[in-house]
Amino acid sequence: MRRLFFALWPDDATRQALAAEAARLAPLCGGYPLPAKNLHITLAFLGDVDEARIEALVALAQRWPALQGEWTLDRLGHFPRPRIVWVGGQTPNDTLLTLDTRLWQALSRHGFTAPERDFIPHVSLVRQADRAAPQSRLPTPILWRFDHLALVESQLANDGPCYRTLADNTG
């Protein structure tokens, strides 16, 4: 069994801007910032997947149509459980919402079931956060241009998760 999810990864400049916000917010929220290399948006968390099913998921990622979109990150939020401070968009992003719907439709043909909760596009910035950020808006919005979908494996280690891209649609 391997722990898998589909995600979007930021470019280096966006990753660094997100990491700076995570470092700024962590002391204000009582948690610790996520490492820059781990910052992403999860579109579909699949959980533990049997080895026999991975080949089809790799093919799905590789055949996924080209992506091109932008997302303005300007809203801060807090999930009390699991104690995460995150950043997302004040305005819903139709491209991300459509991508999530289409991805789950494709995954359903492989026996996966979409969660029964609404999709809230976000990037987790701070873990073990005792409280929300003191403001609900990001002081300076961050523009994220996304252009590829990735199938990612999450391996849990003592110092947190380690992510490895198994496949993407960049060719």
Catalytic residue among 40, 78, 110, 148: 40
pLDDT of residue 157: 82
**Domain 2-168, what fold?**
Cyclic Phosphodiesterase; Chain: A, (3.90.1140)
Residue 75: which region, alpha, beta or left (left: phi > 0; alpha: psi -120 to 50)? beta
pLDDT of residue 92: 86
pLDDT of residue 148: 92
Residue ranges per structural domain of the chain: 2-168
Is residue 34 within 8 A of residue 110, CB to CB? The reply is no
Mark whether 110 is an active-site residue: no
> Using the 8-state DSSP alphabet, how is residue 142 labeled?
E
> Using the 8-state DSSP alphabet, how is residue 21 labeled?
H
pLDDT in tens, the chain (171 residues): 999 999 999 999 999 999 999 999 999 999 999 999 999 999 999 999 999 999 999 999 999 998 899 999 999 999 999 899 999 999 989 999 999 999 999 999 999 999 998 899 999 999 999 999 999 999 999 999 999 999 999 998 887 789 999 999 986
pLDDT of residue 117: 87
Mark whether 78 is an active-site residue: no
Catalytic residue among 78, 110, 122, 148: 122
Is residue 95 within 8 A of residue 65, CB to CB? The reply is no
The residues near 2 (Cβ < 8 Å, ≥ 6 apart) are 48, 49, 51, 54, 153
- Would the pTM of this model clear 0.85, i.e. be above it? yes
